Amino acid sequence: MPMPMSAAAAIALGSIAALAAECSRTPTEDFPSRSAASTAPAPTTTVASVPSAASSAVVAPAGASPASTGQRCVLATPAAAPAALTPGPAAGCPSDPEGNQRVPVVRVSFPGAGSAAVDAELVSTPHDTQRGLMYRRSMAAERGMLFDLHTREDHQFWMHNTCIPLDLLYVDDDGLIVGIVESAPTLDDTPRGVGCPSRYVLEVNAGWCRRHHVVAGQHVTLPADLAGSVQKP
């Protein structure tokens, strides 16, 4: 979860940057500092030409020079899939101190990937963002969690107390997938991001993106009521 996507996936949340992004949240003073996290190698980003929010981005080769207009930061999805992780809950998964939490469920669809869609739990409050998918021991195949982080920045998520492996999709405010972290391992405090600004992070089960042919540069369709102003960090 923010520090940083399961997703749980981790995160610095702009004006609420002090939040611990667990399963998918930003570390607080109780967890590894962001300065320590910054030692991890930064991903290499590429440039994508995006004529409009309705069209898919075309990812340019690494090192391509952006044009003066219409260019977007996108971390291309590698052609090769990552090593498969062991399915099921991690050994040593901690117990949930709060029990099940009820949050709204929204439909997130992927028009660039046929009929692919997930029903995602929507979290946007500091408390729910901190929890994310922590402590979960399973998640249905076509389910996920959508984090509305309210700020557009290079969010970092981690897998603190997250017991199921996840794919984390970083989505900009117009629905563009600017990068995907695939198969984030369980119970891991390593910060993970894509080096590009985003507003949302969608966490799904590890391997979901490959199975449904979802890649960076495509767009997702989000609920209309999520549209709105983005807070500045």
List, for residues 167-197, the tens digit of each pLDDT value.
999 999 999 999 999 999 999 999 999 999 9
For residue 217, is pLDDT > 60? Answer: yes
Residue, of 177 and 83, whose pLDDT is higher = 177
Whole-prediction pTM value? 0.74
Mean pLDDT value across residues 212-227 = 92
Q: Which amino acid is at 209?
A: C
Q: How confident is the model at residue 88 (pLDDT cuts 50, 70, 90)?
A: confident
Mean pLDDT value across residues 23-45 = 35
Q: What percent of the chain has pLDDT over 90?
A: 58
Mean pLDDT value across residues 32-51 = 37
187: DSSP letter: T
Identify the pLDDT of residue 86: 78
Here the tokens at position 227 are 């549209």
Q: What CATH homologous superfamily does 1-28+104-228 map to?
A: Protein of unknown function DUF192 (2.60.120.1140)
Q: Which residues pair with 231 in a beta bridge?
A: 151
What distance in Å separates the CA atoms of residue 169 and residue 180, rounded to the nearest whole number? Answer: 5
What distance in Å separates the CA atoms of residue 229 and residue 217, rounded to the nearest whole number? Answer: 22
Here the tokens at position 118 are 């997930």
Residue, of 137 and 224, whose pLDDT is higher = 137
For residue 32, is pLDDT > 70? Answer: no
Here the tokens at position 174 are 């117009």
Domain boundaries defined on the chain? 1-28+104-228
Identify the pLDDT of residue 99: 82
Q: Coil, strand, or helix at residue 135?
A: coil
HEC string of 7-68 equals CCCCCCCHHHCCCCCCCCCCCCCCCCCHHHHCCCCCCCCEEEECCCCCCCCEECCCCCCCCC
Identify the pLDDT of residue 176: 97
- Residues 133, 42, 26, 178: is their CA dihedral positive or negative? negative
Contact 216, 46 (CB under 8 A): no
Neighbours of 87 (CB within 10 A): 11
For residue 60, is pLDDT > 80? Answer: no
| Region of poorest pLDDT, from 31-45, 116-130, 152-166, 186-200 | 31-45
Q: Which amino acid is at 173?
A: D
What distance in Å separates the CA atoms of residue 14 and residue 231, rounded to the nearest whole number? Answer: 8
Q: How confident is the model at residue 228 (pLDDT cuts 50, 70, 90)?
A: low
| Region of poorest pLDDT, from 21-25, 80-84, 106-110 | 21-25
